């Protein structure tokens, strides 16, 4: 029993020392993310039960250690999102969008292989709304019912918060899985529409410490 306790203590101390001896100042990396949850949105015009969603995110990033544990950085995120609705009693059948976001972020690395990250999202989103041709609605003369597709460009702003794990692949190369909650708001002045979305994303990142 004493030997087991000694081994555990030595292992813990070695982890702390490994982190303390890492004098890297710059972090370069990229990540690939997928949606873990059903897409959820808040829009007064478009509501319905979602049949399926697909979301893919790619994000190169660079960061600088402003202190031993704090990293400040910038990411450039590209997202693809497809949402399909299952109900025939709404006039929206699917949403397809692509977005490019500028993401300042801040990370805190603990003295064990864990980190937390907060991130600000700002950018532009191109969106295509496909309407249900069988939907008549309360007012068949509503102009929007007469079209099958509506394309828009939205200003996007939001935030995310997550927790990740730091896995050593070599002295300088790390694997960093990260799970994060994302909340964004989209505004289209031309069509006078706005809506909010929330999702849970799993990101798999590879980083190189300089």
How much is the average pLDDT of 119-143? 76
Q: Dihedral angle at the C-alpha atoms of 16, 22, 23, 26, nearest 10 degrees?
A: -120
166 — pLDDT class (breaks 50, 70, 90): very high
195 — pLDDT class (breaks 50, 70, 90): confident
Whether the Cβ atoms of residue 148 and residue 129 lie closer than 8 Å to each other: no
Most confidently modeled range among 35-49, 129-143, 194-208: 194-208
Report the distance separating Cα 80 and Cα 57, nearest Å: 6
**DSSP type of residue 171:** S
CATH class of 24-209: mainly beta
Least-confidence region, from 63-67, 90-94, 150-154: 90-94
19 — pLDDT class (breaks 50, 70, 90): very low
How much is the average pLDDT of 175-195? 89
pLDDT in tens, 34-91: 987 655 555 544 445 566 778 899 999 999 999 999 999 999 999 998 887 765 555 6
Per-chain mean pLDDT for the chain: 81
Question: How much is the pLDDT for 17?
Answer: 47
In this predicted structure, the answer to whether residue 20 has a pLDDT above a threshold of 70 is no
CA dist 104 → 6, 38, 95 (Å): 42, 26, 27
**DSSP type of residue 141:** T
Domains of the chain: which residue ranges? 24-209
Most confidently modeled range among 33-42, 111-120, 136-145: 111-120
How much is the average pLDDT of 110-133? 91
pLDDT in tens, 23-33: 789 999 999 99
Least-confidence region, from 52-56, 130-134, 136-140, 146-150: 136-140
Query: What H or E segment, with its residue span, contains residue 5?
Result: helix 2-20
Closest CA to 96 of 126, 76, 118: 126
Angle at 61 between CA 58 and CA 66, to 5 degrees: 150
Kindly tell me the sign of the dihedral angle through the C-alpha atoms of 32, 198, 49, 98: negative
Between 127 and 51, the more confident residue is 127
Q: What separation, in Å, do the N-terminal and C-terminal C-alpha atoms of the chain show?
A: 41
Distance of CA 99 to the CA centre of its chain: 11
What single string gives the DSSP state of each residue in 75-96? EEEEEEEEEEE--SSSSEEEEE
């Amino acid at each position: 029993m004493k030997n087991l306790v000694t081994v555990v203590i030595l292992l813990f101390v070695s982890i702390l020392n490994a982190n303390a001896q890492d004098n890297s100042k710059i972090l370069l990396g990229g990540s690939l993310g997928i949606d873990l949850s059903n897409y959820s949105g808040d829009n007064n015009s478009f509501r319905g039960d979602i049949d399926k969603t697909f979301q893919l995110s790619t994000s190169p990033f660079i960061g600088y250690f402003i202190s031993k544990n704090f990293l400040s950085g910038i990411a450039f995120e590209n997202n693809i999102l497809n949402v399909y609705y299952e109900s025939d009693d709404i006039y929206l059948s699917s949403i397809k969008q692509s977005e490019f976001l500028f993401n300042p972020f801040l990370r805190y690395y603990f003295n064990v292989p864990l980190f937390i990250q907060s991130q600000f999202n700002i950018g532009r989103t191109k969106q295509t709304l496909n309407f249900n041709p069988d939907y008549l609605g309360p007012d068949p003369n509503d102009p929007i019912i007469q079209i099958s597709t509506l394309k828009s460009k939205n200003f996007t702003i939001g935030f995310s918060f997550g927790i990740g794990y730091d896995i050593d692949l070599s002295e300088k190369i790390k694997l960093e899985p990260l799970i994060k909650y994302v909340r964004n708001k989209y505004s289209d002045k031309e069509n006078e529409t706005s809506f909010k979305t929330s999702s849970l994303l799993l990101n798999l990142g590879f980083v190189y410490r300089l």
